[in-house]
Structure 1
Amino acid sequence: MTSSPSTSSANPAAIAELEQGLEHLKVANYYLRVALDQVADGVVIVESEASDPKCGPKVLFSNAAAAMLAGADPESGLRGLGLNDLVAGEKDAATLRQSLRLAVDQGGCHECECALQSLRTQTPVPSKWRVRAVFNGMRKLLNYTILISPAAQSMAAAGGNKAEVKPAVDDLDAQSAQLRKENLAALAQGIAHDVNNLLGPVTVRLSALIQQVQDHPALANELQLVFAGLKRAKQFTSQVVTASRSTPRKLEPTDILSVIRDTVEFAGAGSNVHVCVRNDENLRQGMADPVKLSQVLQNLVMNGIQAMPHGGYMDVQALNYVVGAEGEGKLKPGKHVKIIVRDRGCGIAQENLDRLFRESFTTKPDGNGIGLTTCKRFIDEMGGDIRVASTPNIGTEFTLILPAAAGADGTRPLVPADTAPVPLKHGKGTVLIVDDEDDLRKVAQMILSRCGYEVVQCDNGQDAVRIYQSLFRTGTPPDVVLMDLTLRGGMNGTETAAEILQLDPDARIVCTSGSVTEEVQMVFLERGFVGVLPKPYEAGELTQVVHQVATMMKRH
């Protein structure tokens, strides 16, 4: 392992790494693909002229909603398909071609109705197509952007003949509800994938840095704080996908005090408000979802900080609490844990207190009221309650009450949640990294090289197949292939893996992706992958998986 740098060299390097990490996190807020995936309608961008007249202008980009409408795999989307492949027949194709021409002739926009061909069910879906021709400053046509949405009313076929399509109202409502559910799942998967890709280079580099600066405790502690925040972000993106699939996360005995301390330290970093944490000496464990609880506390602490722009003091207090035999509102009788978050800010007017947990209400000029609504929903899901009391110009107090874990009197978890980085694992062998995220690919190569591996890298499936084929013919195939699933252009990761496995059934391919959840990992193992490494991964996780796969027995 590289020796620990001196104090004079470690600090600037760490600061540079953190600045780069913060820049990546800022990019996440403006990432174009995430924004487009939030659009309820299908969005496709197609080329200005058809490179293949038979299939029509090809799709250059599609959002998650477009993929779901067309019954396509959200990972690969519609990219590469022609517009003629997306409509039900020649009449619909002619209608759409006419709409493209009219969009150019009529100043940029046109709208038509024709049937979208479902690639999954082969059932035409009456749809409305809103076409916009995109020009540059010289009025050169660059591409077409098309919004696609299901049409509930009858659709006019080309040539003026009316082809009435009148599905039952109940069927339309059911189809609409199912479509919204599928779009939500696709949207969540797209957001998780993109955010995980952005967190990836920061997570892997920071986890390695922490292990290099252990001789400088103050710096190591600061880096550890940031790293703990990144791990919570990773847990959150996973939870977004789980929530969209209506699969609730199981509640678990939770070290309430540890969650409070970590969250308060992270949320209050850099502010001029001092947050004091106090607790009962023998604080019980609570039955909670630690990730959601952390999100609730972070929201409440940050709200308190914002209410105190000139600085000051906040209190977060954790207490044992017992609900009497008659119950207490929605709370059942028995042992609970109470968390109080108290600020000394501007307070909330009495008439507004009952409105706080409504989605449409906010006291902030630029707010949307969704924060406290989400807090209440999360606490309700945990079987708890959230309350508020406030006095204008004195301050506000939020109280969270959660059920205690069974047999949790004055105990702490036997194994506290470990936020320390996974240790690095050295080894030997050749690793082929296939990933179109340049930063992550380069950082992974650096870490693996330091740990003793020879590393080859590329950013697309075609090059990956050629590289593997070349090394295989010389009798030195890669010991491990790290394969991203979503590769830009050409073959995706699954297709590339299939090509490599056809060439060499003994190929050891590890699936790496920002959208693979525990529920679907077995699917990829059945497709020939020997392991799964979800993004964002730590440096130690990367080296541990590579070492495990490189030393495993051949399958044939």
Structure 2
Amino acid sequence: MSSLVVENPRSRIPEGLTVDPVSAAHMANSFLRTALDQASEGIMIVAPAFQPHLGPRILLHNTRMAALVGAEPSRGLCDRFLTQLAATEEEAGDLLRVLRCTVKQGGAAQWEGGMKTFFGDKVVRCIWRIRAVMDEHGRVYNYTLAVTPSPTPVTAAPDRSSFSPVPAPAVTDDSRRLRNDNLATMAIGVFHDLNNLLGIMMTNLSEAVTISPAQGQVRSHVEEALAAARQACDFVKETMRMAKGMPENRAPSDVAQIIRMTARITQSGSGVNLHMSLPKDLWWAMADAPRISQVLQNLILNGIQAMNNRGHMDVLARNIVAPQGHHALRPGPYVEILVRDRGCGMDPEDAARALHESFTRKENGNGVGLTTCKHIITEHGGQIAVSSMKNVGTEFMFWLPATQPQQQQGKDAAPMTPPRVRSGLGTILVVDDEERLRNVVHAVLKRCGYRVFEASNGEDAVQTYRQLLRQNDDVDMVIMDLTLKGTLSGEQAMKEICAMDPSARVIASSGGMLEESREGFISEGFCDILPKPYLAADVADVVHQVLMKDIKGEHSGRAA
């Protein structure tokens, strides 16, 4: 890795002109961060001092490093230690030994070992290139680490008798992998922004439903728009889980609801008329809903493309029981799902290959979609099959093991209209850089009986909180957006508020947040989370629940 040098910002200033050194330092820092974020490898800068049992603290990192680890974009790896990324305690010790020996080895070293991710137990084998940054006296300023996943081992020994270039397929695979990694990183940021916009829509729509007359055409239109926004929200969250590479979360899942949501969104914008036939008593399945949705999306998109974006498709489902001696399934109950198109179809030979190898007839296709579908279904204990005829169409059929009947009792679909908004008493500080969302949250909480203050950034939030404390005016709750414009992030603002008032209660909110990350945020000092987008009732509920916990003595601090 080439060393990063920040040129003195005063070196090119024409004689006679002066520049504010603080502004120049901010500009140089901006240039450095921009350069780091353009790198294709994960880069970290860590402190020269080693904390006992923890090693050096991480001072700075680029977005690629956060993506490799699976960190939240708004939080990154700040305030973490290098050894916390190592897969095991033994490897953490090895990494520290290599780090200490870097200076003796001329300032550079390399180590290969496992890196933990923040989601699940997944470990990524990586190459860690280490450089000690020293002054002219040999004192270490910091350590710079460049981290890249280890390449897949080559099974056959290379021919060293000739110096032929790298085969084109390997270059293509590396390019595709890099492109997919970059797309996944960008997707998380896009989902964050999309959730913020959905939040404005859903909070306003749910508030409109609450204050509009119970009967009438306007109320009906608002409820329909809210239902569509909630479906979009569910789809974004499920796709975000896949982009973040979160572990499977299998639970009793409403297969009919998964089919409806996925089919409607996948069909959107196409010229294909999609017919669904889903019985009312369709069984549930023990499944990871986002991954099953991924399978359905892939099969439906294949059909739309095979039909040149026009015509009719079918998505059908039914309950079946596989008997003893079934040729493909173990005995027991299953949900059978069929996706049928009327497109160009495949030859028998191509159909036989479709699920067993990277096969495609599409221009610019990579042929891994169907094999991925098969892998997901078989991991769930099911099976998938394909039947096709040239110029007639293609049918994909797959089976998922169904849950026992008692597991689906009481699992009615969530109502589309929002529940009653809870009232309460207290003072709430709402911190968000999106004015439209601040305004509607302010209106919701005020209607519930709370007194509400607002702040658009972390600095204003800390200052407002401090002023209220000086006036002996307690703030009962802070709703803190994590991604704020300015020098203070939401997490940093929370820490400053808690430093001046240890009994402060701060709820974390973000468009890049998932319910699975609740415990992590609570361990960092937040009292609860409010993932975006949310309904008006969600805001009132989380505030009410946290305040009630304090009244019941479950948390230390002031009672509301």
The bucket for the TM-score relative to the shorter chain is 0.5 to 0.7
Task: Return the alpha-carbon distance in structure 1 between the equivalents of residues 203 and 26 of structure 2.
Answer: 48
Root mean square deviation of aligned Cα: 4.7
Partner of 1:205: 201
Would you say 1:543 and 2:540 are equivalent positions?
yes
For 1:429-448, what aligned pairs fall within 5 Å after superposition? Answer: 429-437=426-434, 440-448=437-445
Work out which of the residue numbers 462, 484, 491 in structure 2 matches 1:494.
Answer: 491
Would you say 1:235 and 2:245 are equivalent positions?
no
Task: Return the alpha-carbon distance in structure 1 between the equivalents of residues 464 and 266 of structure 2.
Answer: 46
Would you say 1:304 and 2:277 are equivalent positions?
no
Partner of 1:260: 259
Work out which of the residue numbers 336, 360, 363 in structure 2 matches 1:362.
Answer: 360
What SS class does the counterpart of residue 60 from structure 1 fall into? helix
For 1:111-510, what aligned pairs fall within 5 Å after superposition? Answer: 126=108, 191-192=187-188, 195-210=191-206, 212-213=208-209, 215-216=216-217, 217=220, 220-241=223-244, 243-244=245-246, 247-252=247-252, 254-279=253-278, 282-309=281-308, 311-329=310-328, 331-357=329-355, 360-407=358-405, 412-418=408-414, 420=416, 422-423=418-419, 424-437=421-434, 440-449=437-446, 451-510=448-507
Partner of 1:33: none
Q: CA deviation at 1:468?
A: 0.8
Aligned residues: 436
8 Å Cα contact 1:427/1:547 also seen in 2: yes
Q: CA deviation at 1:207?
A: 4.7
Q: CA deviation at 1:297?
A: 1.9
Q: Structure 1's 555 and 78: CA in aligned 2 closer, same or farther, altered over 3 A?
A: closer
Cα deviations by residue, 1:133-172 (Å, 9 ceiling, x for unpaired) = xxxxxxxxxxxxxxxx96879999999xxxxxxxxxxxx9
Task: Return the alpha-carbon distance in structure 2 between the equivalents of residues 296 and 464 of structure 1.
Answer: 44
Q: Structure 1's 375 and 537: CA in aligned 2 closer, same or farther, altered over 3 A?
A: farther
Q: CA deviation at 1:69?
A: 7.4
Give the percent of matched residue pairs that are identical in Structure 1 and Structure 2: 34
When normalised by structure 1's length, the TM-score is 0.64
Q: Structure 1's 67 and 490: CA in aligned 2 closer, same or farther, altered over 3 A?
A: farther
Would you say 1:511 and 2:508 are equivalent positions?
yes
Q: Structure 1's 194 and 219: CA in aligned 2 closer, same or farther, altered over 3 A?
A: closer
When normalised by structure 2's length, the TM-score is 0.64
Task: Return the alpha-carbon distance in structure 2 between the equivalents of residues 450 and 517 of structure 1.
Answer: 28
Q: Structure 1's 341 and 450: CA in aligned 2 closer, same or farther, altered over 3 A?
A: same
Stretch deviating more after TM superposition (468-477 or 278-287): 278-287
Task: Return the alpha-carbon distance in structure 1 between the equivalents of residues 182 and 522 of structure 2.
Answer: 22
Q: Structure 1's 309 and 437: CA in aligned 2 closer, same or farther, altered over 3 A?
A: same
Q: CA deviation at 1:466?
A: 1.1
Amino acid corresponding to residue 404 of structure 1 in structure 2: A
Partner of 2:50: none
Q: CA deviation at 1:230?
A: 1.5
Task: Return the alpha-carbon distance in structure 1 between the equivalents of residues 388 and 190 of structure 2.
Answer: 40
Task: Return the alpha-carbon distance in structure 1 between the equivalents of residues 418 and 200 of structure 2.
Answer: 10
8 Å Cα contact 2:204/2:440 also seen in 1: no
What SS class does the counterpart of residue 491 from structure 1 fall into? coil
Cα deviations by residue, 1:403-428 (Å, 9 ceiling, x for unpaired) = 121346xx954222426354333445
Q: CA deviation at 1:338?
A: 0.9
Cα deviations by residue, 1:40-70 (Å, 9 ceiling, x for unpaired) = x999997883858999943334549545575
Q: Structure 1's 209 and 312: CA in aligned 2 closer, same or farther, altered over 3 A?
A: same
Q: Structure 1's 56 and 394: CA in aligned 2 closer, same or farther, altered over 3 A?
A: closer
8 Å Cα contact 2:275/2:312 also seen in 1: yes
Task: Return the alpha-carbon distance in structure 1 between the equivalents of residues 524 and 134 of structure 2.
Answer: 43
8 Å Cα contact 1:68/1:186 also seen in 2: no
8 Å Cα contact 2:203/2:440 also seen in 1: no
Q: Structure 1's 285 and 175: CA in aligned 2 closer, same or farther, altered over 3 A?
A: closer
Q: Structure 1's 463 and 158: CA in aligned 2 closer, same or farther, altered over 3 A?
A: closer
8 Å Cα contact 1:204/1:538 also seen in 2: no
Gaps of 5+ in 1: 1-40, 80-85, 87-116, 129-148, 160-171
Amino acid corresponding to residue 396 of structure 1 in structure 2: T
Cα deviations by residue, 1:97-145 (Å, 9 ceiling, x for unpaired) = xxxxxxxxxxxxxxxxxxxx99x977859489xxxxxxxxxxxxxxxxx
Amino acid corresponding to residue 557 of structure 2 in structure 1: R
Q: CA deviation at 1:527?
A: 4.2
Q: Structure 1's 197 and 519: CA in aligned 2 closer, same or farther, altered over 3 A?
A: same
Q: Structure 1's 422 and 221: CA in aligned 2 closer, same or farther, altered over 3 A?
A: closer
Q: Structure 1's 522 and 376: CA in aligned 2 closer, same or farther, altered over 3 A?
A: same
Cα deviations by residue, 1:357-390 (Å, 9 ceiling, x for unpaired) = 4785433335444543443332222111222111
Q: Structure 1's 332 and 550: CA in aligned 2 closer, same or farther, altered over 3 A?
A: same
What SS class does the counterpart of residue 250 from structure 2 fall into? coil
Q: Structure 1's 233 and 413: CA in aligned 2 closer, same or farther, altered over 3 A?
A: farther
Task: Return the alpha-carbon distance in structure 2 between the equivalents of residues 555 and 516 of structure 1.
Answer: 26
Amino acid corresponding to residue 321 of structure 2 in structure 1: V
Gaps of 5+ in 2: 11-20, 47-57, 67-73, 83-94, 111-125, 137-146, 153-173, 175-179
8 Å Cα contact 1:359/1:368 also seen in 2: no
Amino acid corresponding to residue 403 of structure 1 in structure 2: P
8 Å Cα contact 2:431/2:457 also seen in 1: yes
Q: CA deviation at 1:508?
A: 1.9
Q: CA deviation at 1:503?
A: 1.5
Task: Return the alpha-carbon distance in structure 2 between the equivalents of residues 186 and 531 of structure 1.
Answer: 31
